[in-house]
Chains A and B, each alone.
Chain A
Amino acid sequence: MDLNGGNHPVSDSLRVENLCHSFVDAGTSVDVLKGVSLEARSSEITSIAGPSGCGKSTLLYLMGLLDRPCSGKIFMNDVEVQDLNDIDRTRARNKSIGFVFQFHFLIKELTALENVRLPLLKSGTDRSTADEKSIALLNDLGLKNKSHRPAYKLSGGEQQRVAIARSLANSPKYLLADEPTGNLDSKNSDGVFELLLQMAQSLNLSVVLVTHNEKLAGRADRRFIMKDGLILA
């Protein structure tokens, strides 16, 4: 399974077709996604907006192979991936997918650098290469002198940037961000958005950005609006 066949840049897209998902809650089944289709292309930011509870996060986790859809298809690089086994899903999450969440989710026992290099070490990269790459990423994200700080001693904006650095550490093809600015003030929000834009272009990333922030959503290359488990536009 080659999710990284990069010699065909146009096809480095993340596409879902007629995705359905439901949760069983207190005995009754709740349909959260009712047939969602969309495509996110490389070097672009694709935004998904919509009211709380409409199924944005659910969609994002399905696209990122954190969860399995009830029906529908997911394509990475035009390869069907929704039925991959657990080992391949884990490997794909490590190598091809980067996640950024609303809360930064850093491991507080580790320093910024140690957090960032986790996916690299996990994929078997040797330590010095991993450190080099992680420090370069942290520098790019404006955390030049903070790489050896414990994660919990950084500010909210800094922590989110460390989380972004970590999601980018293994040079993924797809970056899935679930309200990454939801917890930041507007100045930091703009900063993070600019960063994503810059990364999408310089790294040929397909960025999927779930956000409440209409201003940021409006600046994306492709825009989707969800309601009640369906894409409106």
Chain B
Amino acid sequence: MLCLELAWRFIIARKRPMLLSLSGIVFGVAFFVLTQAQTSGFEQFFIRTILGTNGAIRISDQFQDNVGTVEKVDQDGKVEFLFHSREDSLYREGVDQPALIYEALKDYPEIMGVSEIIEGNGVLNTGSRKSSIEIKGIRWVDHAQASDLISQIIDGSIDEFAADQMAVLLGSRISQRLNLKVGDRVRLIGGTGNLHLRVSGIFETGVSQIDKNRIYLHMGTARSFLGRFSGGSVFQVALKNPNRAPAIAQQLQNVLNHRAVSWQEREKVWLDVFKALRVSSGITVSCILLLSGLGIFNVFAILVIEKTRDIAILRSIGFSPQDVSAIFLWQGAILLSAGVFVGSLFGYAGTFLISVIPLRIRGIFSTDNFVVNWDLDHYLMAATIALFFVSFATWIPARRASKVEPAKIIRETL
């Protein structure tokens, strides 16, 4: 306690260098929190959108056989195994018995929704403009349960879609490109021919790749257009807890004998990009904390030199070397906790400000403000990094302080 009190007195007697040191920690922590809130905000946004659009698990392609063949070869007394994986005939495209799979999936307690989808490609033609697109044939009631489709519709409605077998739901970027509005007519060409569709709704997921390319048709309409009247579909599965997707996908794959891919595996490239972004911005911002650590080191190293006489005197009146280093460590602890506290407040306030600033983004994502993620972990991480640098910055001078030989110092001062 006495050492803490002395630490405090030493700090407030040096307002300027201590405030400078403090501001380094404050800015480091604040920026760390802010950048993490943004990068992980976009990551969460992406995950949410992708889950709400494409589901947690996709089931496709039946396995033809589960194992390749293994051949045992005896050669000059050496035993070798030859593996034949029969790669080209491993899968048969699409689900063969959708009704059975559907029933099986419906019984899983962890599954929130199951939607059978028939996929294909085509070209939309308005007469003046054309655009190639990806077709998803759905049963809208099922799909609404397995996705956020209804809330993604920004114009028109699911009811209009439900009411008309020749209805189409367009991705928002398609509707912009082709200049189509709800109620307009459009031709779908390719496949077995030619469909006259009516635009019954426009949806926006926020992920440009999807909004640019996807249309939804009724299952029957899509099947007849694509000429695939049975089988060949895929399943989109929504989970109550998407984090369990890899384990559940594995389980489904074993039970159903179909390939089941979790969103984590499916979107690995994107998730890796986000992770890299998060880590690299974290490292960049940690440099602020590194620099403030160096600043603190500098301040403390000078302080220890300045205080050598006082240290000697404290030793002569019964302070141990440990007490002496405690005085300096406490100073570091005071700066650290004040810096982390104020920095977290600034980071919090900054995150809030950024989240409400109107900002139209039309790149990989479409949003109208910065997407931020509120996560206590960011604050803890910032505190940990600050702790790491400040500890080093104080520990070395504190150790030097504890090594002061009082007799030598006092004699030299005379």
Inter-chain CA distance A101–B315, complex, in Å, is 14
Give B317's nearest chain A residue, CB to CB: A119
Q: Is A107 within 8 A of B317, CB to CB?
A: no
Nearest A residue to B10, CB-CB: A109
Q: Count chain B residues whose beta carbon lies closer than 8 angstroms to a beta carbon of A.
A: 25
Asked if A93 is an interface residue, CB under 8 A from chain B, the answer is yes
Give the interface segment out of A73-81, A84-92, A185-193, A194-202. Answer: A84-92
- Chain A residue numbers with a CB within 8 Å of B414 are 57, 101-103, 178-179
Question: Once bound together, how far apart are the Cα atoms of A43 and B316, in whole Å?
Answer: 22
**Of A101, A108, A123, A178, the contact of B318 (CB 8 Å cutoff):** A123
| Residue from B2, B317, B319, B320 within 8 A of A99 (CB atoms) | B317
- Decide if B320 touches A90 in the complex (CB within 8 Å): yes
Instruction: Give the residues in chain B near A110, CB-CB below 8 Å.
Output: 9
B410 adjacent to A61 (CB under 8 Å): yes
Of the candidates B2, B10, B314, B316, the one having the most CB atoms from chain A within 10 angstroms of its own CB is B316
| CB closest residue in chain B, given A118 | B317
0/1 interface trace, chain B 243-281, chain A, CB 8 Å (1 if under): 000000000000000000000000000000000000000
CB distance from A84 to the nearest CB of B (A): 13
The proximity string for B residues 385-414 relative to A, scoring 1 for CB distances below 8 Å and 0 otherwise, is 000000000000000000001110011011
> A46: which B residues are within 8 A, CB to CB?
none
**Is there a chain B Cβ closer than 8 Å to A36's Cβ?**
no
Indicate if the CB atoms of B407 and A87 lie closer than 8 Å: no
* A86 neighbours in B (Cβ, 8 Å): 320-321
Q: What's the minimum C-beta distance from A128 to chain B, rounded to whole angstroms?
A: 15
> Does A70 interact with chain B (Cβ within 8 Å)?
no
- CB-defined contacts of A95 to chain B, threshold 8 Å: 318
B310-A107 in contact (CB<8A): yes
A66-B315 Cα distance, complex, nearest whole Å: 8
**Is B228 an interface position by the 8 A CB rule?**
no
Point out the residues of chain A lying under 8 angstroms from B13, CB to CB.
Answer: 108-109
Once the chains are docked, how many angstroms separate the CA of A103 from the CA of B407? 14
Q: Does B309 contact A (CB under 8 A)?
A: yes
A90 touches B410 (CB 8 A): no
Q: A122 an interface residue at 8 Å Cβ cutoff?
A: yes
CB of A206 closer than 8 Å to a CB of B: no
CB distance from A111 to the nearest CB of B (A): 10
- CB contacts (< 8 Å) of A66 on chain B: these are 315-316, 406-407, 410
Least distance between B306 CB and chain A CB atoms (Å): 11
Q: How far is the CB of B320 from chain A (nearest CB, A)?
A: 5
Question: B4-42: which have CB < 8 Å to A?
Answer: 6, 9-10, 13
B153 within 8 A of A: no
CB <8 Å contact, B319 and A90 = yes
The A29-87 residues at the B interface (CB cut-off 8 A) are 57-58, 61, 64, 66-67, 86-87
A54 to chain B, nearest CB (A): 13
Query: Within 8 Å CB of A90, what residues of B?
Result: 315, 318-320
B411 in contact with A57 (CB, 8 Å): yes
CA distance A58 to B323 in the complex (A): 25
Contacts A109-B9, A109-B10 given; does A122 touch B316 at CB 8 Å: no
- Inter-chain CA distance A64–B320, complex, in Å, is 15
Residues of B contacting A170 in the complex (Cβ-Cβ under 8 angstroms): 318
A218 to B313, CA, bound (A): 29
Q: Which residue of B lies closest to A179 (CB)?
A: B414
Q: How long is the Cα–Cα vector from A110 to B2 in the complex, in angstroms? A: 13
Chain B residues with CB under 8 A of A91? 318
Complex Cα–Cα for A171 and B127 (A): 105
Query: Nearest-CB distance from B345 to chain A (Å)?
Result: 29
Separation of A120 and B10 alpha carbons in the complex (Å): 20
Residue of A nearest to B413 (CB): A103
Q: A173 CA to B160 CA in the complex, in Å?
A: 100
Complex contacts, B407 vs chain A, CB 8 Å: 61, 66-67
Question: Closest A-chain residue to B316, C-beta based?
Answer: A99
- Chain B: minimal CB distance from A131 (Å): 14
CB of A94 closer than 8 Å to a CB of B: yes
**A166 lies within 8 A of chain B by Cβ:** yes
Chain B's nearest CB lies how many Å from the CB of A15? 20
Q: Chain B's nearest CB lies how many Å from the CB of A226?
A: 15
> Which of A61, A99, A105, A121 makes the CB contact (< 8 A) with B309?
A105
Which residues does chain B contribute within 8 Å of A179, judged by CB atoms? 414
- Alpha-carbon gap, A178 to B315, bound state (A): 16
B410 and A101 contacting across the interface, CB-CB below 8 Å: yes
11 contacts between A and B (CB under 8 A): A66-B316, A67-B405, A91-B318, A93-B316, A94-B319, A95-B318, A102-B414, A109-B9, A119-B317, A122-B323, A179-B414
New A-B pairs, 20, CB < 8 Å, besides A93-B317, A107-B310: A66-B315, A66-B410, A67-B407, A86-B321, A90-B320, A91-B318, A93-B315, A93-B318, A94-B318, A99-B316, A99-B317, A103-B413, A105-B410, A105-B413, A109-B10, A119-B317, A122-B2, A122-B319, A122-B323, A179-B414
